[in-house]
Amino acid sequence: MKATATSTSAPPLAPGGAPLLGHVVPLLRHPLAFMDSLRRHGPVVRIMLGRIPVFVVTDAGLTHEMLTAQASSFGKGGRLIEALSRFAGNGLATVADGDLHRTQRRLVQPMFSRAFIAGRGDTMIEVARSVVDGWAAGEPRELHDDMQELTLSVFLAALLGTEPPEATRRRIQRVLPDVMAGTIRATILPPWLGSVPTPTQRRQRDSFTELRDAIGDLVDEHRRPLRDKGLLDLLLDARDPDTGQPMSRRQLEDEVITFVTTNGQASTATVLWALHEIGRHPAVRDRIVAELDEVAPGRPLVGADLGSLTYTRRVVHEAMRLYGPAWLLTRTVTAPASLGGFDLPQGATVVFSPYILHRDPVVYPDPAAFDPDRWSPERARSIPRTAFQPFGGGARQCVGESFAWSEMVIILAETTRRWRMVPDPAVVPRPVPRVTIHPHRLVMTPSGTGR
């Protein structure tokens, strides 16, 4: 269906705006609560970022329509994409729709094929196991840094085909928090306020530069002989089918930066929340361990086992529904459009939030409850396909979705099998929205084994 401007009205304006700033204050102070409140005001709601109108789609069906049937009128873009482009350049997640996107997707897609990822499963598992085995029993851990190390190590191992250099991993990990915090600030703040040269802005710009330098060094190191094959080799060897040309050095760096930031942050957040919920629900942990013992009795997990970890995958599925991986995604209206009976002008930014869609009580009974069995084959049939969109949809659906699923299942399985993670009752993690939703202060203690 092609978008047309035949609707009858403009979307309603959300309450709570302020002169000059619009809805910036509630978005900065209580972003998740504010976004969730918009569902009460209709399927499409207008908010103001300064004097700039932004349209928020709160209905899953309309979101799916926007991403598929009306995709030609809603291009990849908007304030989040502009912010990501500041450090990721023209990576696959940020490049505009059109010939360049189609070319890049053809070049990148083979590195995320199920067959290629399956061939890297053993390496990913070995790296995850090595990191988790290094934790000390009885020592409380603030898990954010641990899990960021773990997801980054697993991803870099798949990228390089071998365990990544420790110094490079630390270098990338050190700057990621500032990079991601700067991205969401640039998305929410009005342009005039976001351009003020504060110490925070300067630190974030320095972090952007350091991240690109680290990725460039990683590519240079990987070009040396006597190294194993990894996902990066597919990028180095890729050729445009029309021109026969390889990726430029800049394009190669853009793609790797995109993968490290978007995939890594999503996996980190999802596994952190899964561990938090497992700590609150010991029966869930027991079922994961029982499944692992059934699938890999008396032996280490291997890549070929991943498809059999159906309950572990449900746990990841439910953590992803509740907490991510992205809480805010944007599109740009490329032609005057109608969505849900409302006019949307060309050039406008449209926002949709998986956080809102995944907590709709009409679709998900008791939506705040952690219930992995809602994804059992029998119960999942009642959930519309359009109501679960953690990786987007349509032609712009995340190309790394299969890799992300494998990585998260591996990390959760290895952590749970090795350790019984005991939560600190004095510390209740608070959701902190960046590009993904991270728990603030998730403290858990490895105790004994998962059995």
Largest distance between two CA atoms of the chain: 65
Judge whether 154 and 127 are in contact, CB under 8 Å.
yes
Which residue in 227, 210, 74, 248 sits closest to 159, CA to CA? 227
| 361 belongs to an annotated ligand binding site | no
Residue 415 pLDDT: 96
Whole-Å CA distances, 299 to 50, 296, 406: 58, 6, 19
Q: Which residue has the higher pLDDT, 80 or 411?
A: 411
Q: With a cut of 50, say whether residue 2 has pLDDT above it.
A: no
Judge whether 22 and 50 are in contact, CB under 8 Å.
yes
Distance from C-alpha of 39 to C-alpha of 56, rounded to nearest angstrom:
9
431 bridge partner residues? 439
Q: With a cut of 60, say whether residue 96 has pLDDT above it.
A: no
Q: With a cut of 90, say whether residue 244 has pLDDT above it.
A: no
pLDDT band (50, 70, 90) for residue 4: very low
Which residue in 84, 103, 81, 164 sits closest to 130, CA to CA? 164
Q: With a cut of 60, say whether residue 194 has pLDDT above it.
A: no
- To the nearest whole number, what is the mean pLDDT of the chain? 84
Residue 99 pLDDT: 62
Judge whether 254 and 90 are in contact, CB under 8 Å.
yes
Judge whether 147 and 272 are in contact, CB under 8 Å.
yes
Judge whether 161 and 200 are in contact, CB under 8 Å.
no
Which residue in 111, 94, 188 sits closest to 396, CA to CA? 94
Burial class (CB in 10 A: 0-12, 13-18, 19+), 86: middle
Q: With a cut of 50, say whether residue 451 has pLDDT above it.
A: yes
Q: Which residue has the higher pLDDT, 435 or 97?
A: 435
Residue 198 pLDDT: 72
Distance from C-alpha of 253 to C-alpha of 238, rounded to nearest angstrom:
14
Burial class (CB in 10 A: 0-12, 13-18, 19+), 179: buried
Residue 433 pLDDT: 83
Q: With a cut of 50, say whether residue 276 has pLDDT above it.
A: yes
Which residue in 259, 196, 178, 151 sits closest to 434, CA to CA? 178
Q: Which two tokens stand for residue 450?
A: 């998962």
Residue 282 pLDDT: 95
Domains in the chain, start-ordered, CATH in brackets? 24-447 (1.10.630.10)
Please write the tens of the pLDDT for every residue from 21-76.
999 999 888 999 999 999 999 999 999 988 889 999 999 999 989 988 898 898 87
The 10 Å Cβ neighbour count of residue 418 is 18
**AA identity, residue 112:** F
Q: Which two tokens stand for residue 79?
A: 């304030």
Q: Which two tokens stand for residue 2?
A: 């092609």
Pure H helices in 1-140: 24-29, 31-37, 60-67, 79-88, 99-108, 114-119, 121-133
Residue 87 pLDDT: 58
Judge whether 438 and 153 are in contact, CB under 8 Å.
no
Q: Which two tokens stand for residue 281?
A: 């629900």
**AA identity, residue 235:** L
